[in-house]
Amino acid sequence: MFIIRWILGRIILLLNFVFAPKKRHRPSAEQQQIDAQTQSLALYQYPACPFCVKVRRAMRRQGLNIQTRDAKQSPFKEELQNLGGKQQVPCLRIEEAGKVQWLYESKDIIQYLDQRFA
Ligand SMILES: N[C@@H](CCC(=O)N[C@@H](CS)C(=O)NCC(=O)O)C(=O)O
């Protein structure tokens, strides 16, 4: 079972690499403003998880430089479980005005990013 999942994961990564979406390019002043905003965001994810790949592709299409955190590794694994509430990826950590929100579900994360940055 593990080996099948590992092979599927490699196939997903390969397809994602070969068919990488076009990265959005903005004028540099505008990109700097967006980068300042995305500094308060972090994506907890697994590299080969298909739902995480979907979110990373959406980030690339929007030209969003959001930090990715491997939720299989410490301390991110514990942060996700203890502060987010469950060990499920992808999860977007959103910090706004001192408040932290943990947004699960790839569809909801993409919708949030599209609404905020499109
Ligand atoms: N409906 C969720 C599904 C996410 C999901 O199933 N993620 C898997 C990884 S691909 C997960 O976190 N499983 C729990 C675990 O690995 O501990 C979404 O669209 O984000």
Architecture of domain 38-118: 3-Layer(aba) Sandwich (3.40)
Q: Average pLDDT in the 26-44 region?
A: 97
Ligand 1: centre distance to CA 42 (Å): 17
Nearest atom in ligand 1 to 104's CA: 20
Residue 117 CB less than 6 A away from ligand 1: no
pLDDT 10s digits, 89-112: 999 999 999 999 999 999 999 999
Q: What is the mean pLDDT of the chain?
A: 97
Crossing angle of helices 28-38 and 106-117, in 10° steps, is 140
Handedness of CA 49, 51, 53, 56 (dihedral sign): negative
| 3-class secondary-structure state, position 67 | strand
Q: Domain-by-domain residue ranges, the chain?
A: 38-118
Would the pLDDT of 26 be above 90?
A: yes
Q: What is the pLDDT of residue 95?
A: 97
Beta bridge partners of 95: 100
Nearest residue (CA) to ligand 1, atom 2: 105
The alpha carbon of 79 is separated from its chain's Cα centroid by a whole number of angstroms, namely: 16
Ligand 1: centre distance to CA 87 (Å): 8
Alpha-carbon span 20 to 18, nearest angstrom: 6
Residue 51 CB less than 6 A away from ligand 1: yes
Phi, psi of 70 (to 5 degrees): -75, 110
The alpha carbon of 2 is separated from its chain's Cα centroid by a whole number of angstroms, namely: 24
Longest dimension (CA), the chain: 48
